[in-house]
Homo-oligomer: A and B are copies of this chain.
Amino acid sequence: MKQEHVDQIAAAVAAVRERKENGGIDNFYFVACGGSQASMMPIQYMFDREICIPSAIYNSNEFNYGTPKAFGERSVVVTISHSGTTPETVAAAQKATDAGAVSICLTNVEDSPLWQAAANPIHYDHGKDAEESDKSGTVLLKLAFSILAVVDEAAAERWEGAVAALDGIKDMKAAAVEAYRERVEAWATANKRAEVIYTMGSGVNYGEAYSLAICLFMEMQWINSSSIHSGEYFHGPFEITDFDVPFVMFMSCGATRFLDERALAFAQKFSDDVLVIDEADFDFCGADESVREYLAPEVLGAVVRTMVDKLAHDRGHDLGVRRYMWQMEY
């Protein structure tokens, strides 16, 4: 990881430590829109599982207009916007700064409005020439693990080990893509005329299921979609299952795996079109078992992207095409 990224993360973590020692931390709020919000869902899940300080995730304007009563100077607010210009996310970061909360942001654009609004901005790289270790996923995980090392001091060693494991992310992704490429590309081709595709996951993976539905299928391919929580499947959504209804199913290697197994067994019984991506298959390159669950969605994302690239190619619908986004004011 580039030294500037290391330093920016260190400064943000120092601000969290300072607040912990002076006044204390009441809560963590993860605030963003769309894919950026989705990318923090696994982080919120991890915090919920690992520490007693409450954490919650909000769409930016939900946070701005429906502000939680507990928000204040003992809050830590983490915002993300790739361009750094998403107005409602900038407003949320500014709101946090103005309230005297610890305001941390992640963005690809230095000196952007978001960068200016948050007291503790962190940059990440993007694009085909970027190193894996400097991209948003790795930078966010390093920030999150480093905050846990401060807040969950008794387990600091575990969280420092998790940070060290991030060195293997590039290899983990390459291995998973290699293992899954043939299967996911064949599935994409077979489903190129699908008018609706459901995604399913639970626990640490729900964010990835949400992101695949709203960003990759709906936004970038104009395919109808919905993310179903594996635990909710049997309480309504499963009635739309039929032999020709496509599902993309994420199997967690963590705490909620049973939910995914139960949903998968049913979906495979009544649909002939289920793509399964199982994190238990992934090679975590020696990362400690206790943190694999939290690394898994980042690796999963690379496999998902391989499938979507093929789908976009076969449909002749470039992932960069939009009819509304960037085309007009709204």
Q: How many copies does the complex hold?
A: 2
Contact call B218/A240, Cβ cutoff below 8 A: yes
CA distance A262 to B241 in the complex (A): 33
Bound Cα distance A230, B33 (Å): 11
Per-position 1/0 for A1-40, Cβ under 8 A of B? 0000000000000000000000000110000011111000
Contact indicator B236/A35 (Cβ below 8 Å): yes
Decide if B239 touches A222 in the complex (CB within 8 Å).
yes
Task: Decide: A256 near B62, CB < 8 A? Known: A196-B196, A224-B240, A232-B37.
Answer: yes
Query: Interface readout for A127-151 with B: 1 if CB under 8 Å, 0 if not?
Result: 0000000000000000000000000
A60 CB contact (under 8 Å) in B226, B228, B231: B231
**Alpha-carbon distance A144/B27, docked complex (angstroms):** 23
On whether A256 and B61 interact (CB within 8 A), knowing A48-B68, A236-B218, the answer reads yes
When distances are taken between beta carbons in the complex, the residues of chain B under 8 Å from A203 are 62, 65-66
Is A97 at the interface (CB under 8 A from chain B)? no
Nearest neighbor of A202 in chain B, beta-carbon distance: B62
Question: Distance in Å from the Cβ of A195 to the closest Cβ of chain B?
Answer: 7
Residues on B with C-beta less than 8 A from A234 are 33-34, 325, 330
A232 to B: closest C-beta gap in Å: 5
